[in-house]
Chain A
């Protein structure tokens, strides 16, 4: 039950009061003791008696300090301090015990040490470079009460100003030589290099087989960047099944600006449906056996406010395709790609809204010596709302290609994530240059029902919209972390049924690690 009485003494006032009243000289006799801030009837009879017993005794700071601590033990929502005032006679003093309620002061709620004053700012560990502006901000804290939020903000600014050195900056408090005064110590230390491995993250689709990452390795060398190596065998994203590796290095971390360079080499395999469609289609872009890619990518991330994150990248890709149709030989698919994305998250005690949107545009032109001349646009919007055990989710994506794009740029739906229940090789075995897709999901605890609809078609054809429905068993969010194997919570089973699919059979999808 909440206490009705509110005493609006702040800790800083309490401290200032103590400062104005230095300790009296020795052998002073206590003339009177007053308690301020609470009705003394709230204290136990024993404690009241002990306080009043001070009257007539020689002043002793330790005894009074012990009594203020006893008050705090009896009234845990309060802080207590003492002050001395001159008595009516020269060798007499008056003691005032001040009691303040913690719950009325946000700073004290968050850190009990907010009632103490900062004497000095010190630095330990690795030497820091500090701008004049930041130094002025740091000096402003001297003489003020401890402010944890401000200390953390300035610590983050110190880290950012020294980001090229890859430092972590933590703060801590140390007792000063004066009672109830503290020193703030900023401790800078070099971040540790990390090495992480993971295996088997992906999906098993009853009609398309396994798709995902076989093995992954990340070595982060602070502060320079991250070396990565991944092996894939997947038929999920593209029409082709691709198997091979990707190695890369990223300079910088993913807060702010970073640059990544990657090389990948994948062997492509095609389903019979695709091989047959390629033989019959006059406008097929052709199939390849090998796809080697060298890319450079500039990434940018910026938190617009506490809930909104913006991101963008610009990438240059040099693809070499070893073609198997329509003729044998090598072709280049060099692409310039750019993307913008935004995320807005609002989370409260009861519910959360997540809204994400992205646009990616890419082009293959003769200017960068590409044999495939095309322009590609793709947009995505995802919204989810969750409240307690309920989840509502909507996803929408649309895409358009003009020109002659290679197979790995063409759109396809009907896999483990889109139009679940349909098999992409039966819908459009060569993919399409137009795509529209939407999905609505309702989840309760570990079961989620979904309704998917979408179409992939070529500009020269009319589109056919297909629908599917089904359910997924598994957690909507799981803690995969940096573990070697997927967390048991991150396994899921999905069953999708094509609607008006004729002889189309349902698909079973086992999710591992997402």
Chain B
């Protein structure tokens, strides 16, 4: 293989990685006293987690949304969400079941609408963020749902916490946006009859 070909492959690989990194873009809007996220071209349902779902195995998605004073600064506000996702192997549709905080189960969703369900559920209180500049960070990870009926954590998880030897490498990712200012964000009026 010539050097030119090798260079082309290398550039294509780098471009591919870059494209993947920037494919999902994080942004924010305000909805009354809440800051909500806007994600273009979200691809949370992918990779090994999606393969598991297609095999009929439920997967837990954990999202941590936080606002920071700067990119590596202290935390102004944070929230965590857990969803159990399952995929109907006959109807080929997703179901999203919020478990933390508990919420309304929604089923018969396409991948796009399932991802929109996660995004719509996530919010931060605007009052905690204040009026200054901030950075927004969204971390997510997916892991196989095991013994999700019971509260607390699984024995396997407990052993892994203490031994620090996880055998399952979960799907995970981080998105960041900033610097942002609440006053500069697009606003969405709350629905009629709903207090902000």
What 0/1 pattern do residues 129 to 155 of B give for CB contact below 8 A with A? 000000000000000111111111111
Interface locus among B6-14, B39-47, B81-89: B81-89
User: Which residue of the partner chain, among B97, B101, B144, B150, contacts A109 with CB atoms under 8 Å?
Assistant: B97
Given contacts A173-B55, A309-B158, A488-B72, contact A72 B108 (CB under 8 A): yes
Interface residues of A in 441-463 (CB under 8 A from B): 445-446
**By the criterion CB–CB under 8 Å, are A69 and B159 in contact?**
no
Nearest opposing residue in chain A for B165, CB measure: A254
What B residues does A153 contact at CB under 8 A?
Answer: 147
What B residues does A173 contact at CB under 8 A?
Answer: 55-57, 89
What B residues does A305 contact at CB under 8 A?
Answer: 155
Interface residues of A in 144-166 (CB under 8 A from B): 146, 148-149, 152-153, 156
Whether A349 is near chain B, meaning CB under 8 Å from some CB there, is yes
Whether B156 is near chain A, meaning CB under 8 Å from some CB there, is yes
Given contacts A171-B57, A172-B56, A307-B158, contact A349 B84 (CB under 8 A): no
**By the criterion CB–CB under 8 Å, are B89 and A255 in contact?**
no
Chain B, interface size: which category? 35 or more
What B residues does A348 contact at CB under 8 A?
Answer: 151
CB distance from A102 to the nearest CB of B (A): 5
CA–CA, A434 and B147, complex, Å: 46
**By the criterion CB–CB under 8 Å, are A191 and B167 in contact?**
yes
What A residues does B108 contact at CB under 8 A?
Answer: 69, 72-73, 76
**By the criterion CB–CB under 8 Å, are B152 and A306 in contact?**
yes
Whether A500 is near chain B, meaning CB under 8 Å from some CB there, is no
**By the criterion CB–CB under 8 Å, are B159 and A179 in contact?**
no
What A residues does B161 contact at CB under 8 A?
Answer: 345
Given contacts A172-B56, A306-B158, A307-B158, contact A349 B101 (CB under 8 A): yes
User: Which residue of the partner chain, among A2, A148, A303, contacts B145 with CB atoms under 8 Å?
Assistant: A148
**By the criterion CB–CB under 8 Å, are B105 and A102 in contact?**
yes
Whether B27 is near chain A, meaning CB under 8 Å from some CB there, is no
**By the criterion CB–CB under 8 Å, are A69 and B158 in contact?**
no
What A residues does B149 contact at CB under 8 A?
Answer: 106, 110, 149
**By the criterion CB–CB under 8 Å, are B153 and A306 in contact?**
yes
User: Which residue of the partner chain, among A148, A253, A349, contacts B57 with CB atoms under 8 Å?
Assistant: A148
Whether B171 is near chain A, meaning CB under 8 Å from some CB there, is no
CA–CA, A179 and B90, complex, Å: 8
CB distance from B30 to the nearest CB of A (A): 22
Whether A182 is near chain B, meaning CB under 8 Å from some CB there, is yes
Whether A389 is near chain B, meaning CB under 8 Å from some CB there, is yes
CA–CA, A180 and B88, complex, Å: 10
Choose among A111, A153, A179, A182 the residue with the greatest number of B CB atoms under 10 Å from its CB: A111
CA–CA, A168 and B162, complex, Å: 20
CA–CA, A175 and B56, complex, Å: 10
**By the criterion CB–CB under 8 Å, are B100 and A102 in contact?**
no
**By the criterion CB–CB under 8 Å, are B107 and A77 in contact?**
yes
**By the criterion CB–CB under 8 Å, are A309 and B159 in contact?**
yes
CB distance from B67 to the nearest CB of A (A): 13
Nearest opposing residue in chain B for A308, CB measure: B158
Whether B70 is near chain A, meaning CB under 8 Å from some CB there, is no
What B residues does A111 contact at CB under 8 A?
Answer: 56-58, 84, 86, 145
Choose among A79, A112, A146, A348 the residue with the greatest number of B CB atoms under 10 Å from its CB: A112
Choose among B56, B57, B148, B158 the residue with the greatest number of A CB atoms under 10 Å from its CB: B56
Whether A393 is near chain B, meaning CB under 8 Å from some CB there, is no
User: Which residue of the partner chain, among B105, B148, B152, contacts A346 with CB atoms under 8 Å?
Assistant: B152
CB distance from A351 to the nearest CB of B (A): 13
User: Which residue of the partner chain, among A73, A106, A345, A445, contacts B158 with CB atoms under 8 Å?
Assistant: A345
CB distance from B180 to the nearest CB of A (A): 20
CB distance from B115 to the nearest CB of A (A): 15
CA–CA, A112 and B91, complex, Å: 10
**By the criterion CB–CB under 8 Å, are B74 and A69 in contact?**
no
Nearest opposing residue in chain B for A187, CB measure: B55
Contacts A/B (CB < 8 Å), 13 sampled: A77-B105, A77-B107, A102-B107, A111-B56, A113-B89, A148-B57, A148-B58, A148-B148, A168-B167, A173-B89, A255-B163, A305-B155, A349-B101
Closest 5 CB pairs of A and B: A173-B56, A172-B55, A303-B155, A112-B95, A72-B108
